Structures are given as C-alpha cells and as structure tokens.
Amino acid sequence: MSSTTTITHDKLARLVGTATSPVLIDVRIDEDFALDPRLIPGSRRRSHKDVGFWAHELDGKRAVIICQQGKKLSEGTAALLRHNGVPAEVLNGGYEAWTGAGLPAVPVSLLPPPDQKGRTVWVTRARPKIDRIACPWLIRRFIDPDAVFLFVTPAEVEAVADRFNAAPFDIENVFWSHRDELCTFDVMIEEFGLISEPLSRLAAIVRGADTARPDLAPEAPGLLAASLGLSRIFSDDLEQLEAGMTLYDAFYRWCRDATDETHNWPNRKPGA
C-alpha cells in the first residue's frame, strides 16, 4: 500500500506542464546533481539545509520534494514542510526513478542565470502574437514557473538582455530563435529535451500559425485567430501573456488528452 506522503513518477508526469502542477523542489546534494545536472521539468533547486528560510515560498501551495533516490533528504524535507503547514509529498524513487523511466529532464546549462530572487529572466519584442506567447507558456509550465518576461522595443532587445542578464528570444541572430522551418517554440522544445507527442503536436499548430503554414495542422488557423484576437483585446503585453497562458493550457490539454473526442450534438427529435 503506497503512502499518502509519496507520489509516483507516472502520476507526477501527468501533472507536470499543467496549471495545477505542484511546486517541484529538487534537494539533491551538489555531488549528486553534478552527476546529472538536469532538472525534472518545472522544478527548482533548494538546499534541504535551508528549508526554514524558503518554506514560506510555498504558503498555500502543494509541493513535491525530489532527491536522488527518494530517501532521507526528500523524506526529511517534506516532513519539515508538512510541520510548517505545507502539503508536501516525496517523489517515489527520486530523480533516478524519473530518468530511469525515460521521462524528460531539462539541462540547467541552457538556462540564463537566476536573478536575486532565483528567477530566470527572458526578453523579447513587444506586442507578442504567437511564438512570443507560446515560448513563455512553455518556459513557465516546463522550465521555470517563476520566470520573468520583458517585452521591449525590438531594437533594444539585445541591449536589454546584456544589461539585465536576460536571455533574448524570438529575434534574429540569437540562440533562442527560428531555425530553418522551425519556430522558436520548436527550438525550445528540442533544446530543453522536452520532446513528447503532445508537445510535438502543439508545436506543429504553433509553427503553422506563426509561419503562415495552415497546412501543417487543421488547428493552426484557430490558434492564429485566437492569438490575434487577444492582441486586440489587450494593450498591455503582460496582461495578454496571462490570458495566453490559459489559451495554451487548453491547447496543450487537447493535444494530450482530447484529440479523439468529438462534440456530440443531440440528434434526437423533441418528444422522441
């Protein structure tokens, strides 16, 4: 019988990338982390020694604690969090069970350096439409839930990136940008090791909408229409991003769970 204070890797995998995912805390010691410097998507590193200092970050949230094998470090950290009123579970088998099951892990070498609050900072052109909303959605759901996004005048993106230690994306001549027929969203999925059937399906929709290729996916024109509609509704780029998060949450869940489902309109005549 499984413990109510643990979660299996397959159950956690169903939560990762969704709006209802718990906060994932990686407490592996430096020596273990150095053996495989990657993170379970959406997780952040914290020291088990400092749990009293960062526990307040989890107020009102649910947490899953990850160590190398799901033993003493995660068990103790989760117990201390529960003592502080935070619902906390341990990943059964830890990081080794996750990667042993062939589940994705994000290389930290590709992440921009965190700011003073531990957040990654990204910068792109103002007035986003598709790629510049899709990429922040991917980052917040699979890379860094606390990521900061700066939308600035196109000509100033690289200078802002340099001055504010941010990663520029979706502009020419930077790492996170279009490559041949791939859009920036495709590139991020590939580089971050996040390739999966649902994300690949979503990537085709994004690419079709972003590069005027409606032939790539029947849903691409719908995403384009919704994206352009949002850009007309919101004059503030950050407000548009928040609305876009819900839009991409819905498209992702359709790609993952509902592609075979059809709408059942009642066809029985009244009184039949």
Contact 145, 64 (CB under 8 A): no
What spatial distance separates the first Cα and last Cα of the chain, rounded to whole Å?
Answer: 50
* pLDDT at position 267 over 90: no
Contact 44, 144 (CB under 8 A): yes
pLDDT band at 173 (very low <50, low <70, confident <90, very high): very high
Mean of the pLDDT values across residues 43-59? 94
Overall size of the chain counted in residues: 272
Contact 194, 106 (CB under 8 A): yes
Model confidence pLDDT, tens digit, residues 76-112 = 999 999 999 999 999 999 999 999 999 999 999 999 9
Q: Is the dihedral of CA 95, 97, 102, 103 positive or negative?
A: negative
SS3 (DSSP) at 168: strand
Domains recognised in the chain with CATH numbers: 6-106 (3.40.250.10), 111-258 (no CATH)
* pLDDT at position 1 over 50: no
Q: What is the pLDDT of residue 2?
A: 44
Q: Could you write out the DSSP letters of every residue in 77-117?
A: HHHHHHHTT--EEEETTHHHHHHHTT---EEGGGSPPP-TT
Q: Is the dihedral of CA 196, 201, 207, 209 positive or negative?
A: negative
* pLDDT at position 270 over 70: no
Give this prediction's pTM: 0.94
Q: What is the pLDDT of residue 4?
A: 72
Q: Using CA atoms, how far apart are residues 251 and 202, in angstroms rounded to an integer?
A: 7
User: Rounded mean pLDDT of the chain?
Assistant: 95
* pLDDT at position 146 over 90: yes
Structure tokens at 102: 């062939």
